[in-house]
Structure 1
Amino acid sequence: MNKISIGQSELMASQISLGIMRMNALSVEEAKTVIETAISEGIDHFDHADIYGKGASETIFGQAFKKLGISRDSVILQTKTGIVPGIMYDFSKEHIIQSVEESLTRLQTDYVDTLLLHRPDALIEPEEVAEAFDELEKSGKVRTFGVSNHNPLQIELLKKFVNQPLIINQLQLSLTHTPMIDAGLNVNRTEAGSVLHEGQLIDYSRINDMTIQPWSPFQSGNGKKGLFFDHPDYLELNKVVNEMAKEKGVAREAIAIAWLLRHPAKMQPIVGTMNPDRIKAITKTTEISLSREEWYKLYLSGGKMLP
C-alpha cells in the first residue's frame, strides 16, 4: 500500500482509508478481524464520526483495537463532529469540545490525529470554532484539523479565523457522482454540468494543498439508491468496469478506486466495507494503474459527454 502526505501536515497515511460508519453492526470479535485485515493490507487510516451508529461504531472500534494490542501511534484515527442528527448542525465551541471528549472516550484513546467539521453549519461563528480548535490542539487531544462537505468560500471564512491549517475536505465522489469533474470540463457552457455547484473544489484543494477524501466511492449518483455495480441504470459503466477488472486481474471495486487514485489531485478514498475479503480486493487497486484513455473511458461510460 502506497502512502501519501495528508494536506499541509506531517501525516503520512495509506492511500486508502477505511470508513467505520457500519462497524456498529459487528461484534467486537468481527471488528477485530476487520481492523486486523485492513492493517495487514497496508491501511493505517481509519475514518470515524461521532454520529456513526449513534456512537456505537467508535465504541466497538475502540474495544476491538484495544484487544488487538496494536500500538496507537501505528495508526491514524480521524473523526468528525457538527451534526445533531435530524435536529441541526452545531459548530459551537461547546459542542465541538464535548463531541471530541466523547469520541476519545469511545475510541479509548487520548487523542485523534484529525478532526473534521462534518457538514456546514448555517449559524457558524468561526471565532468559536477557532477557540475550540486552539483548546483541543493545546491539550493534545486533536493534532490536525479539516472539513467535510464544505465549499471554497466556507473554507476561506474558517481560514480567516482558525490558526491551524485545514488539511482535508471529505467530499462525495464516484464514477456516478462527478459534479466536481463535470464543472471543470464544461467551462463557459450552458450544459447543466457547467453550473459550479461546488465552486471548483478540486482546483481549490490542489491550490491550497488540501487532501480530498472521496466518500461513497461505489454508491449510485443522482439520487439513485444502492451501489452502481449491477445497477440497471449503469449498464455501459458496469460493462466497462467488468472488462477492465478482468483485463487487469482485479475486482471491480479496485477499478472504481483506481479511477479516483488516477486523478493528479492525490485523493485518499474512504471505503466503508466491513467485509475482510472485500477489503483485500479493494487494496489490490494500488498494484494497478489506469491510462489517461482508460480514465476517460470510465468517466464517459457513466453517462457523461465531453463538451
Structure 2
Amino acid sequence: MTTNAGTGERVLYGCMGLGGSWGPEPYGTADIDAAEAAVSAALDSGITAFDHADIYRHGKAEAVFGEVLARTPGLRPRITLQTKCGIRLGDGTLPGMYDLRGPSIRRRVEESLTRLRTDVIDVLLLHRPDPLADVDSIASALTSLHREGLVRSFGVSNMGAPQIAHLQARLDVPLVANQLEMSLYSRDWVEAGVLVNTPEFGRGGFPFGTLEHCRDHGIRLQAWGALAQGRFTGRQQTPAEQATAELLVRLARSKDTTPETVLLWWLMRHPAAIAPVIGTARPDRIRACRDAALREPDLTHEEWYQLWITARGVPLP
C-alpha cells in the first residue's frame, strides 16, 4: 500500500468531477471511460492518492471509480483511497444537512465500501462539523470501524483547531488530516495569520490558529479548491487575476514547468507542507500538475510573496 494520504502524499486527485451529472440519471460506460482516463492521467503524473466523498455526484463518483478498479486488476494495492462522510444532500422533502451520528457514519462507510469495490478505506474524513453531533458517538463509531479493519486512518474536513482537539481527546487513534479550502484565490488561510492587529482581522472565514494546531499535532493539511477553479489559468475575471495569470506564465517558463504547477507550488512552498487536492476531470489539466507531484516546490521567498501580493491586488498591511 502507498504512503497514507493523510501523512505523506504530495498531491491528491479529487474525484468530485467523475461519475457524470449531479442528477438522478445513472452513470454509463462513457462515464466509466472518462473516470478511467482521469485516473490514468493522475497515475502518469505520479499521483496515487484519490479523494472521494459519499455525496459526490450522489455516490456516482465512488461507483465509477469502483468500476475502474474492477477493470484494472492490481491497481487497488498501488493507491490510497480517501473518502468523506457527514453531509446529506437535500432530496426534495428534507433539506440538506450535516449528519455525524455514529450509526450514520457506519452506514455511509459501508455504502462507500460497496461502491468503491474495496474492503478497506485508507483515510476517512468527517466532511463538515455537525452541531448536533455527540462527539462520544462519533468516537465510538470511528473506533469500531478501525478495530474491524474497515478504515485505516481518520481525519476531518472544514474544521478548526478547537473542534479537532475536542474530537481527538476522545479518540485513541490519531487524526491524520484536515482538508480545507486553500488556494492563491481563497487566501484566508494565510491572511488570518498576518492580519492580526489590523482592522481586517477576523473578516475572513478561516479559523485562526488551525494551521499551527495541525502542524504541532502532525495533522496533514490538504487543500481543496487548490487550482482556484481556473481563475488564474484561463478563467480570469478581474485585473488582479489577469496580472496573476501573466505572472504564473512567466514563472512557469523560467522554471520549465506549467502555470498549474506553479500555482500548486505556491501552496506547497508553505512550511506546513500543504498537500493540494486537484479536482479537474480533464486529463490534460491533470498532467499539467505533474511537476507538483514529482518536483520540490521551486519558488523563492520573493517569488512566493510576489504571487501573493499580485493576487491580493493591494499591498500587504
TM-score w.r.t. structure 2 length?
0.88
| Structure 2 letter corresponding to 1:113 | D
The answer as to 2:93 corresponding to 1:98 is no
Aligned-residue RMSD, C-alpha = 1.9
2:44 to 40, 44, 55: 40
TM-score w.r.t. structure 1 length?
0.91
2:16 to 21, 38, 46: 21
Task: Give the direction of change, closer, same or farther, for the CA distance of 1:71–1:64 in structure 2 (3 Å limit).
Answer: closer
Between 275-284 and 183-192, the greater mean CA deviation after superposition: 183-192
Task: Give the direction of change, closer, same or farther, for the CA distance of 1:104–1:64 in structure 2 (3 Å limit).
Answer: same
- TM-superposed CA distance for 1:273, in Å, is 1.4
- TM-superposed CA distance for 1:188, in Å, is 2.0
> Where do 1:161-180 residues align within 5 Å?
161-180=170-189
1:282 to 282, 289, 295: 289
Between 244-253 and 176-185, the greater mean CA deviation after superposition: 244-253
| Alpha carbons 1:130, 1:162 under 8 Å: kept | yes
Task: Give the direction of change, closer, same or farther, for the CA distance of 1:5–1:269 in structure 2 (3 Å limit).
Answer: same
Task: Give the direction of change, closer, same or farther, for the CA distance of 1:144–1:246 in structure 2 (3 Å limit).
Answer: same
| Alpha carbons 1:187, 1:194 under 8 Å: kept | no
| Alpha carbons 2:5, 2:123 under 8 Å: kept | no
1:141-166 superposed Cα distances (whole Å, 9 cap, x missing partner): 00000000001111111112122111
> Where do 1:105-144 residues align within 5 Å?
105-144=114-153
1:214 alignment partner, SS class: strand
Residue segments in structure 1 that go unaligned for 5+ positions in a row: 221-225
| Alpha carbons 2:18, 2:34 under 8 Å: kept | no
| Counterpart in the other structure of 1:241 | 248
| Counterpart in the other structure of 1:156 | 165
1:161-216 superposed Cα distances (whole Å, 9 cap, x missing partner): 12211110000011011111111112222224676841222111111111110001
Q: Give the count of matched residue pairs.
A: 296
Report the identity percentage: 36
| Counterpart in the other structure of 1:267 | 274
| Alpha carbons 2:81, 2:123 under 8 Å: kept | yes
| Alpha carbons 1:126, 1:162 under 8 Å: kept | no
Task: Give the direction of change, closer, same or farther, for the CA distance of 1:60–1:246 in structure 2 (3 Å limit).
Answer: same
Task: Give the direction of change, closer, same or farther, for the CA distance of 1:193–1:251 in structure 2 (3 Å limit).
Answer: farther
Task: Give the direction of change, closer, same or farther, for the CA distance of 1:197–1:64 in structure 2 (3 Å limit).
Answer: closer
> Where do 1:212-251 residues align within 5 Å?
212-219=221-228, 227-229=231-233, 230-233=235-238, 234-251=241-258
- TM-superposed CA distance for 1:12, in Å, is 3.9
Between 132-141 and 234-243, the greater mean CA deviation after superposition: 234-243
